Amino acid sequence: MKLVEHFQHGLDAPICLTWELTYACNLSCVHCLSSSGRRDPRELSTEECKAVVDELQRLQVFYVNIGGGEPTVRSDFWEIVEYAVDHQVGVKFSTNGVRITPERARWLAESDYVDVQLSLDGATPEVNDPVRGDGSFDTTMTAMRNLRDAGFTGFKISVVMTRHNIGQLDEFKRIADEFDAQLRITRLRPSGRGADTWDELHPLPEQQLELYDWLVAHGEDVLTGDSFFHLNALGSTPLPGLNLCGAGRVVCLIDPVGDVYACPFAIHEEFRGGNVRDEGGFTGVWRGSDLFSRLREPQTGGACSSCSAFDSCQGGCMAAKFFTGLPLDGPDPECVKGNGERALELVGAGAPKPTPDKDHSRTGKKKQTGVPVAIGWGPPEPERLPDRACDTSPLAGMPAPREVR
Amino acid sequence: MSTETFAPDRPYRLSPSVALRPEPFGALVYDFTTRKLSFLKTRLLVDVVHALDDAPDAHAALRSAEVPDDDHDRYLDALAGLASAGTIEVRGD
Amino acid sequence: MSENHTVTTAEADIEEDLLVEEVSIDGMCGVY
Ligand code: SF4
Ligand code: SF4
């Protein structure tokens, strides 16, 4: 039996576990998958995080992707990372670089089992900053220089592909090579604040081919999180990867308050299987929740089953369909055969589509549509005292680590 | 990572940087050093890998895991692959 | 094998009875 077929029935524990440690973030990227900004006061405590690590160790989850929000703004972040690697749980964490000082870069270069992924959505500030915020390009480049100067090689540079940066693919590759880093490009999904900006950001149909051709030519040295399997229908060369939506089968998300979702791009009540604080813990959710069991049942291809590309495309991404209001057993909104666009027209004419229901955007950033937008960030203004616990500054209760100026 | 070729008449063991996680169909193999993930796709192969530790050589491990004679070549090939990936290594004793 | 290389569908068809398969750790949807 092929490995993918085994995977379809689910595993005893996930392979690709994403763990978001906080919804707090110094940035407010317009496509943020978790609508991050403000810290959620119900966030798992240090002790609870360590208990999650203990459980992952028991389950032999050897590796986690830590994200956020900006995970490094948690004052106990490095403590949690150290605890994880000391308990046979390797870490790759995703950051915008704000806390990667020269000193921290040296620490990282010395630790085994810790990998760093820096987010960059444009090869120039002109393309990056409208999406990630003013000054964010420089922040990330500084972090990358600090890592290089500390001798940390092979860190990941992670780019979300949009219609504005597909033309920069070669430039991204050049930057990665220059830093002895590895380029990772992934698909933009209409999740979180991305639901509001997807229409204006997602690659245009003709750019999909450009992307596919580039991947066929460079696929061997570029990571993709296997996120472009919906492009397989474009040619006869299948992109490397499993070509499988792993949601709830091999993939899942633990969010900052302990909620367990089928996939990091599916933060919505529909896809919440339970909480690590529940009686059976994470294991109970992964092995016993109705949602996860349902996702492991054989799925029907629906309108896609007659498509010649179904084997390698599988109807695309569940989260992308959900947040664009498409049926989960039909074509992906970016179906390269054009079936998604036709389906989207029907949605436009009909019922309202689901909107992300877990918004941690900072006040005023919520209904942000339109790219580019000017996004400022900095310390909280003292005169704007929060009226609710949830409304505090993202950095509230988090003393700045010593190494920050 | 091993540079020697696989020799079925030598003793082998799971490399110290490697962990096995049982799964319904076999096991997941993770190498903490190379960060590589692979899968042993039958339970029998998992038994063979476990048997290596106490076996004087790889042939003996196949016998003690009761691999059918007809499958010996396939399983030796699989072990050779695991050796070249560094998942198993020669036991120095 | 590079980190990103996994067994593609076409290869898997031919090598259906492989006893060992390598998978990219990045080969599943994680963080952006
Ligand atoms: S829902 Fe989409 S992003 Fe999530 S695992 Fe499936 S294909 Fe990947
Ligand atoms: S019709 Fe479905 S299977 Fe075919 S290319 Fe479109 S999304 Fe993929």
Q: Which domain holds residue B63?
A: 12-90
Q: Would you say C31 and A69 are in contact if contact means Cβ atoms under 8 Å apart?
A: no
Report the domain count for chain B.
1
Cis peptide before A372 (omega within 30 of 0): yes
The verdict on residue B4 lying in a domain is: no
Q: Tell me the per-residue pLDDT of A298-349, one tens digit each, with 9 for 90 and over.
A: 888 888 999 999 988 989 999 999 999 999 999 999 999 999 988 888 876 6
Domain locations in chain A as residue ranges: 3-299
What contacts A200, CB < 8 A, 6 or more positions away?
A370, A371
Ligand 2 in reach of A315 Cβ (< 6 A):
yes
What pLDDT does residue A100 have? 98
How close is the Cα of A244 to the center of ligand 1, in Å? Answer: 8
Half-sphere exposure at residue A224, Cβ-oriented, CA atoms within 13 angstroms = 27
Contacts of B38 in chain A (CB under 8 A): none
Query: At residue A150, does pLDDT exceed 80?
Result: yes
pLDDT value of position A365 = 53
Question: Which CATH superfamily hosts domain A3-299?
Answer: Aldolase class I (3.20.20.70)
Closest CB to B25: pick one of A6, A62, A113.
A6
Assessment of whether the complete model's pTM goes beyond 0.95: no
Mean pLDDT of all residues in A70-89: 97
Q: Would you say how long chain C is, in residues?
A: 32
How far apart are the CA of C14 and the nearest CA of chain A, in angstroms? Answer: 10
pLDDT above 80 for C15: no
Kindly report the CATH number assigned to the domain that includes residue B30.
3.90.930
Structure tokens at B91: 């036991």
**A60 contacts B24? CB cut-off 8 A:** no
Domain-located, residue B28: yes
Indicate yes or no: CB of C20 within 8 angstroms of CB of B37. Answer: no
Nearest Cα residue to B24 out of A249, A325, A168, C6: A249
Within a domain: residue B2?
Answer: no
Q: Alpha-carbon dihedral of residues A186, A106, A34, C6, nearest 10 degrees?
A: 30
- Whether the bond into A350 is cis, omega within 30 of 0: no
What are A111-131's pLDDT values in tens digits? 988 999 999 999 999 999 999
Distance CA B80, CA B88 (A): 9
Q: Give the ipTM.
A: 0.89
| Separation of CA B73 from chain center | 14
In chain A, the percentage of residues whose pLDDT exceeds 70 is 88
Is there a domain that residue B67 lies in?
yes
| Strand, helix or coil for residue A273 | strand
Rounded distance between C-alpha atoms, residue A390 and residue A136, angstroms: 25
A319 in ligand 1 pocket by Cβ < 6 Å? yes
pLDDT digits (tens, 9 = 90+) for A81-96: 999 999 999 999 999 9
Ligand 2 center to residue A308 CA distance, Å? Answer: 8
Secondary structure of residue A330 in the 3-state scheme:
coil
